[in-house]
Amino acid sequence: MSRVPTRAPRPLLVVAVLGIAFLALPVVGLLQRAPWSSLDDLLGRRTVLDALRVSLTVSVIAAGIVVVLGTPLAWVLARVDIPLRRLVRALVILPMVLPPVVGGTALLFALGRRGLVGQWLDRWFDITLPFTMTGAVVAATFVALPFYVMTVEGALRTMGDDLEQMAGTLGAPPLTVLRRITLPRLLPAMGAGLALAWARALGEFGATITFAGNLPGRTRTLPLATFQALESDPEAALALSLVLLAVSLVVLLPTRDRWLPTR
């Protein structure tokens, strides 16, 4: 038995098509202007390869930190009755809605050489974060963490804790329950959250340039290199944009069940 398809009102369809066109147009423009014939040469340039290396290094390390910090944080938000939970969640979401430049400025005043914590890092451990690759990792982690936490926390809430309770009655201590019940069931959501967080880290611009600068080979990531190239070498900017577009499409693949339902 098949359902009778819903007939959309015509004005709704027209606006929906306009929305699709609005989202698709920039991508089409990029593909249409892309220097396909000289792409090999452009992507082989030292500046492009350096930016790719910095971007991959920074985003992969940031994604790793996001999983380590974000999984327990999501679990606590979903399962533990902590005081001021709404405030804590708002704090977690904040980097999602905060202009990245503001995030970078905040990081500078917190972790800069004269910052709240940064002065002690510098004085006691000789650690300087601003304008270093480590700083770029910190900036990327800051903006990417909420994407992971929100995805995993949502999955934990949807799953509920019935099976975890069940495992407890069978004599399994909490860590065993986490390892054998919670984490295996959470893996798809962790994968989806990781993909989103990694994509966000890869595309990070504002917080990075504010906190870590734009130093070739050290903190100049693909988005920064693209922005830089727009002024001097538009073809290289197009090539770099294509790389970022391709990576974004690849990231959509593991999250397709979540964001791209089959119907």
Angle at 126 between CA 123 and CA 127, to 5 degrees: 110
CB of 180 to other proteins, least distance (A): 7
The answer to the question of residue 171 lying near other proteins (CB under 8 A) is yes
Burial class of residue 197, CB neighbours in 10 A (0-12, 13-18, 19+): buried
Q: Is 5 or 184 the residue whose CB approaches other proteins more closely?
A: 184
Helices (DSSP H) in 80-117: which residue ranges?
85-97, 100-111
Find the binder of other proteins among 169, 231, 262, 263 (CB under 8 A).
169
Helix 133-159 vs helix 46-79: angle between axes, to the nearest 10 degrees?
A: 40
For 6, 53, 186, 202, 229, the CA distances from 221, given in Å and listed in that order, are: 46, 8, 31, 8, 12
The answer to the question of residue 173 lying near other proteins (CB under 8 A) is yes
Find the binder of other proteins among 56, 76, 127, 172 (CB under 8 A).
172
The answer to the question of residue 83 lying near other proteins (CB under 8 A) is no
Instruction: Return the range that interacts with other proteins (CB under 8 A); candidates 59-67, 96-104, 118-126, 174-182.
Output: 174-182
The answer to the question of residue 184 lying near other proteins (CB under 8 A) is yes
Q: Is 168 or 191 the residue whose CB approaches other proteins more closely?
A: 168
Dihedral angle computed from the Cα positions of residues 193, 152, 129 and 46, in that order, rounded to the nearest 10 degrees? -10
Q: Is 180 or 256 the residue whose CB approaches other proteins more closely?
A: 180
The answer to the question of residue 191 lying near other proteins (CB under 8 A) is no
The answer to the question of residue 119 lying near other proteins (CB under 8 A) is no
The answer to the question of residue 262 lying near other proteins (CB under 8 A) is no
Helix or strand or coil: residue 82? coil
The answer to the question of residue 213 lying near other proteins (CB under 8 A) is no
The answer to the question of residue 179 lying near other proteins (CB under 8 A) is no
The answer to the question of residue 166 lying near other proteins (CB under 8 A) is yes
Find the binder of other proteins among 157, 165, 248, 250 (CB under 8 A).
165
Scored b (16 or more CB within 10 A) or e, 94-123 reads ebeebebeebbbbbbeebbeebeebeebbe
Scored b (16 or more CB within 10 A) or e, 201-238 reads bbbbbbbbbbbbbbeeebbbbbbbbbbbbeeeeeebbb
> Of residues 145-164, which lie at the interface with other proteins (CB under 8 A)?
162-163
CB of 82 to other proteins, least distance (A): 15
Positions in the binding site for other proteins (CB under 8 A): 162-163, 165-174, 176, 180-181, 184-185
